[in-house]
Amino acid sequence: MAKLILASSSPRRKELLQQLGLTFDILSPDIDESALEHENVDHYVRRLAETKAQTVLASQPDAVVLAADTSVVLEQQILGKPESKQHAFEIWSLLSAQVHEVLTGVCVATATHRESIVVRTQVAFQKLSLDDMERYWATGEPLGKAGAYAIQGIAAQYIPRIEGSYSNVVGLPLHETVQLLKAVKVLN
């Protein structure tokens, strides 16, 4: 079997992929993650996952490369990672008492085959008070997280329900990832 490479520096993706019992290396590509003008979110996350996979595959042509990109979206607006406390509070003000979507584009590529998919999960947030926001910010958890929260961490207390894949919200939809790995014959 060809060497499997995870094209990501995300510790959450690493942990999720380890849950599958797979052996893999990690190579994190440096790509431009800017959205294109008028690009819809589905296209954006799929394009980034495919670009990450192709970038790593260019230097590792005998490997199987798995790449993903996750975005938190409210009304077709991507809510990125917080750049400051004020930015995090702005994001949480938008998410408060709303249902938003988490989209992950996943790509598995080899020199001769490429499969990709976009997985969507709906996440409901409770109404957040200013005290909730202050306490959550003080934990440090929101830093570096799309949508300024981690469902697998402290933020779980603010999420009464989700519809769809939990692992997708963490950063890698495991069921769909396994299906892509089977499609390129990495798994039986």
What whole-number distance in Å separates Cα of residue 24 and Cα of residue 127?
40
**Is 30 annotated as catalytic?**
no
User: Among 25, 32, 62, 69, which one carries the catalytic annotation?
Assistant: 69
45's tokens:
């996350």
Which residues form the catalytic set?
69
